A = this chain, B = another copy of it.
Amino acid sequence: MIERIKVRFLPDNITVETMVGESLLDAALDAGVFIPAACGGSGACGQCKVKVIQGAVNAESTEKILPQERDEGFVLACQTKLVGDVTIEVPKAKVGRKVIPRDEAERMKTMARPMESPIIPELNPMTMTVLMNPPSPKLEDNTSDYERIIRELKVDHGLSPVIAALDVLKVLPGEIREQDWNFTAILKPECLPGIEPYYRLLKVSAGRKVPLRTALAVDIGTTSLWAELINIESGEVLARSSRYNPQISMGDDVISRIVFALKKEGSEKLQQAVVQGLNQIINEILEKSGIPKNSINYMVAAGNTVMTHLFMGLYPRFLRQTPYVPVAQNIEPVPARSLGLDMPEESFACVFPGVASYVGGDIVSGVLANGMWDSDLMTLFIDIGTNGEIVAGNRDMLMTASCSAGPAFEGGGLQHGMRAAPGAIEGVLIDPETFEPMIKTIDAKPAVGICGSGIINIISQMLRIGILNQNAKFAQDLGTDRIRKGTSGFEYVICRAAESGLNEDITLSEVDLDNILRAKAAMFSGYTCLLEKIGLSVEELDRVIIAGAFGSFINLDHAVTIGLLPDIPREKFSFIGNSSLKGARLAVMDRDLMEKSREIARAMMNVELSEDHAYMDNFMAALFLPHTRMQLFPSVKLGASG
């Protein structure tokens, strides 16, 4: 159980409800209480010094707090964990103006409610283990090793028909005899579309013991690769890791990757790059968890159609040419090693089925995970990735579209953008008088860039307090050196070099802002058009589920303020995080859900927006903060708190 506690901030007397274990800096950020904090919570700048008036905290000792100060109750907010109700005083000199005065109920509503998948998987993995001890051969019964195993599997385990590839037969005689006909078989129930199920004998090994059996759930994003190692006997997630997709050096977005793929050996280089990235993650995960590699039975990967094509080595050219035709929507599992994956010889890799050139397996996986295919609730599902995808509908109907949003909300294409990784600025609060920022980084590591949620938060606040105008241009008369002319036009300095984990200032420029503006306009136009096609207004939606590689700090008010999300009651929103990875995890645990994903993919009707006039009109109208038609965003009050 998560224990909820209350933190009261003086002198403004703002109380925020939060959880045991949270940091005091996070609580302040949540409350909208400005405490200078330039280093992102790493403890380096020492600016976030506050005094504990009442209650106990768990404060790290730091040289930034003198012994005398410590005795008086001073702590660094970023180095202090909450353990119970507490009252905090922010020193007068440091008190900034609250950005948005609001009561507690209002504040909680602005946080995107985190959502786990409502789909409960059976533990029904893609491989199964059978402990065997058939009668050993005699002259009266000298059928072959293979046929003996087949017979035993049928008679004693009800598993039939069974077939085996030559590679398995090659090691059979030794393994089955090593421990006197005690051995363990790994079988793969084969579920090819339209074909009666049968079993494939994948491996036979000496001894009758259930080995640790794991599989990998993988999200192959255009920007990031994510992987989880899962114990397929228990469902436990043993380890998790991520890194940039190494293909980034061959293009930021799917279009530039396709262009690269068409060059000489481009496709091979891209395939090798993503596999190399996955291999690094796999080895990192194994090292981190101490799990042996030979435990890995398979990989289930979800990626958009371009990523899936490049991963599999399929020719991507026609994905970007009208009428946008993939090579294949359903691809059969392949031996993992045939792709170059550093996995056991008998292991295999499956990819999620796709719907169209720009609605791929990651979205099908996301829909599998978010459960809208199994719900009566009219749902809008928005995946704010490099290639913004939208799905609307419920169990009766699913429609989908994509809008090439670009990677801005994943930090791509921005001078200091980055994905949600340690050191990424995800929480930002700007003092409306001094225009100084208070920043919070992921894992409280020295700031090295800004991720999607940080970008949304900072732009919204800059817009509200007048640093930015609705055209996303900086005010130049505010008398702060945080705004300056940089090499790419005007820019705002979020974190100075000295306080950062870089050797340079972390900034957000007008060129960056332009990218973000186009990304949010594409998303807005995408879901607006799709809902129009269905004949639904945003008000008729029961819920909006947001997916994407944000940090955990997605603030709905901010996302609505910049016009990214529709202006509807905040309680309708939930944030599912990396739903592509979550869907892959479900399929790893339950092969029936992999089958279900084929049904889902077939059921999803794709709408091609790229050549749609309404989409272009909506896009142009959305190139404004929040939108040229302010009546679409009634809750957004610009300048009200500025």
Q: Is A93 an interface residue (CB 8 A)?
A: no
B192/A338 in contact, CB under 8 A: no
> Which of A141, A165, A325 has the most chain B CB atoms inside 10 A of its CB?
A325
A322: B residues at CB distance < 8 A: 139
In the assembly, what is the distance between CA of A358 and CA of B141, in Å? 15
Chain A interface size, under 10 / 10 to 19 / 20 to 34 / 35 or more: 35 or more
Copy count, this protein chain = 2
In the assembly, what is the distance between CA of A72 and CA of B359, in Å? 94
A323/B198 in contact, CB under 8 A: no
Q: Is A19 an interface residue (CB 8 A)?
A: no
Specify which of B143, B194, B196, B314 is in contact with A170 (CB 8 Å cutoff).
B314
Q: How many Å from the CB of A190 to the closest CB on chain B?
A: 9
Of residues 189 through 241 on chain A, the ones whose CB sits less than 8 Å from some CB of chain B are: 192-196, 198
B315/A174 in contact, CB under 8 A: yes
A193: B residues at CB distance < 8 A: 161, 163
Q: Is A173 an interface residue (CB 8 A)?
A: yes
A330: B residues at CB distance < 8 A: 146-147
Which of chain B's residues has its CB closest to A174's CB?
Answer: B315
In the assembly, what is the distance between CA of A328 and CA of B201, in Å? 13
Of residues 364 through 408 on chain A, the ones whose CB sits less than 8 Å from some CB of chain B are: none
Q: Is A166 an interface residue (CB 8 A)?
A: yes
In the assembly, what is the distance between CA of A589 and CA of B315, in Å? 36
Of residues 345 through 373 on chain A, the ones whose CB sits less than 8 Å from some CB of chain B are: 356-357
A198: B residues at CB distance < 8 A: 192, 194-195
A312: B residues at CB distance < 8 A: 166, 169
A144/B195 in contact, CB under 8 A: no
A163: B residues at CB distance < 8 A: 192-193, 195, 332
A356: B residues at CB distance < 8 A: 142
Q: Is A100 an interface residue (CB 8 A)?
A: no
In the assembly, what is the distance between CA of A331 and CA of B328, in Å? 30
B161/A608 in contact, CB under 8 A: no
A338/B194 in contact, CB under 8 A: no
B195/A328 in contact, CB under 8 A: no
Which of chain B's residues has its CB closest to A357's CB?
Answer: B142
Q: Is A264 an interface residue (CB 8 A)?
A: no
A327: B residues at CB distance < 8 A: 144-146, 169, 172-173
Knowing A328-B169, A331-B169, the reply to whether A195 touches B161 (Cβ < 8 A) is yes
- Can you list 15 contacts pairing A with B, beta carbon distance less than 8 Å? A139-B611, A142-B356, A142-B357, A143-B325, A144-B329, A146-B329, A161-B192, A161-B195, A163-B192, A165-B332, A166-B332, A169-B314, A169-B331, A172-B315, A195-B196
In addition to A138-B323, A173-B318, 16 A-B residue pairs with Cβ atoms within 8 Å of each other are: A139-B324, A142-B606, A142-B608, A144-B325, A144-B328, A144-B329, A147-B328, A160-B194, A161-B192, A164-B328, A166-B334, A169-B328, A170-B315, A172-B315, A172-B328, A194-B198
